[in-house]
Amino acid sequence: MPDSIKLQDKGPTLQGSMAQVAELFKAHKSFSIELWPARTEIAQRKLDQSLVEFASLNPSFVSITYGAAGSTREKTHELVVRIKNETSMVPMAHLTCASQTKKELIDILQRYKQAGIDNILAIHGDPPLNSDSNLEEGELRHAIELVELARSIGGFNIAVAAHPEGHPSSNDIKMDRFYLTQKLKRADFGITQFFFDKKLYLDLLEDLDNLGVKKPVLPGIMPITRLSAIYKMAQLSGTEVPHSLRSRLEKVQDKPDEIRRIGIEVATQLAQDLLDESVPGLHFYTMNDAWVTKEIFSNLGLAR
């Protein structure tokens, strides 16, 4: 494990009470990132080095994914606590209700509370990328129940997931929007799944506004670095990869550097287009790739 990472405070974070979440979005744009726990020793060494690079970006918060099928559950807790204790970054722990009992979820939430972790992303959970099987249902069937459970324990800032193109398990976009409003009414803010057309995000906000919900919703951006990974994640999340983008990528499918170049270009342009629309901030799905994330931050003038 490398030496503790310390970085002077250069901007707002989500630390503290729930009231501060609203203040963050009122006064500042939020620029946050997602990481995932390492599954191998090689991946752990890469993550150790990447944490230094990510800390230099001074993100508003860092969300850490959670193995809904059990693959990284304990590693998520370890990484969340490590980031809180050893870096200047503010962690947000993903927590899923799939495949778990209510007691297990209460125990996890209480452990986070005891460790001083007060930011949670409450989601249902998806199968692992390398699995074609569905997750077993947990005692809580929907993310909204997990939000309510965290609220009952108290002391958490709670985010929920939003799907601009509709949840992949839903065949009715209107009902999907309705269920999202119910989650957002109980949570503090939302974070979208990744998408490639800003109109999808703007349409989502318009629908929520028409339903009387004005909670902040951060747009999620995933830079493309590997074709197989992006197609699989798009399938799981219900995201459409536009034909024109697929065509560009498949022309260079045997050139990894060119795929990354296009991925960075597309992510940068989407991010800038969203910033031009006065979004509350941006959330980047980094896949633990600090170099790609830093390149995009630099392109946007966000690197500090």
Angle in degrees, 0-180, between the axes of helices 41-56 and 290-300, rounded to the nearest 10: 20
Given 23, 34, 74, 104, the catalytic residue: 34
Task: With respect to residue 3, please indicate whether it lies within any of the assigned structural domains.
Answer: no
**What is the predicted pLDDT for the residue at 70?**
55
Range in 2-6, 153-157, 217-221, 296-300 the model is least confident about: 2-6
User: Which structural domain range is residue 57 located in?
Assistant: 18-300
**Region 171-183: what's the mean pLDDT?**
95
The C-alpha atoms of residue 171 and residue 293 are separated, in whole angstroms, by 34
Query: Residue 239, CB half-sphere, CA atoms under 13 Å: how many?
Result: 23
Task: With respect to residue 2, please indicate whether it lies within any of the assigned structural domains.
Answer: no
The rounded radius of gyration (Å) of the Cα atoms in the chain is 18
Task: With respect to residue 9, please indicate whether it lies within any of the assigned structural domains.
Answer: no
CATH of the domain at 115: 3.20.20.220
In 174-224, the DSSP E strands lie at 189-194, 217-221
What are the tens digits of pLDDT across the range 63-107?
999 975 555 678 999 999 999 999 989 999 999 988 789 999 999
Helix (H, G, I), strand (E, B) or coil at 87: coil
**What is the predicted pLDDT for the residue at 4?**
31
Task: Name beta bridge partners: 159.
Answer: 121, 189
**What is the predicted pLDDT for the residue at 137?**
72
Mean of all residue pLDDT scores within the chain:
87
* Tokens describing residue 227: 């074709």
The C-alpha atoms of residue 147 and residue 96 are separated, in whole angstroms, by 10
- Between CA 42 and CA 53, with CA 47 as vertex, the angle to 5 degrees is 140
Give the predicted TM-score (pTM) of the model: 0.89
Task: Using pLDDT thresholds of 50, 70 and 90, give the confidence band for residue 5.
Answer: very low
Task: With respect to residue 216, please indicate whether it lies within any of the assigned structural domains.
Answer: yes
Task: With respect to residue 11, please indicate whether it lies within any of the assigned structural domains.
Answer: no
Task: With respect to residue 5, please indicate whether it lies within any of the assigned structural domains.
Answer: no
Question: Nearest CA to 32 among 92, 79, 85, 77?
Answer: 92
Indicate if the pLDDT at residue 165 is higher than 90.
yes
What are the tens digits of pLDDT across the range 21-62?
546 676 678 999 999 999 899 999 999 999 999 999 999 999
| CA distances in angstroms from 274 to 160, 190, 197, 223, 282, listed in the order given | 20, 16, 10, 15, 8
Task: With respect to residue 184, please indicate whether it lies within any of the assigned structural domains.
Answer: yes
Is 206 marked active-site?
no
Handedness of CA 107, 19, 284, 52 (dihedral sign): negative
Task: With respect to residue 1, please indicate whether it lies within any of the assigned structural domains.
Answer: no
The number of domains in the chain is 1
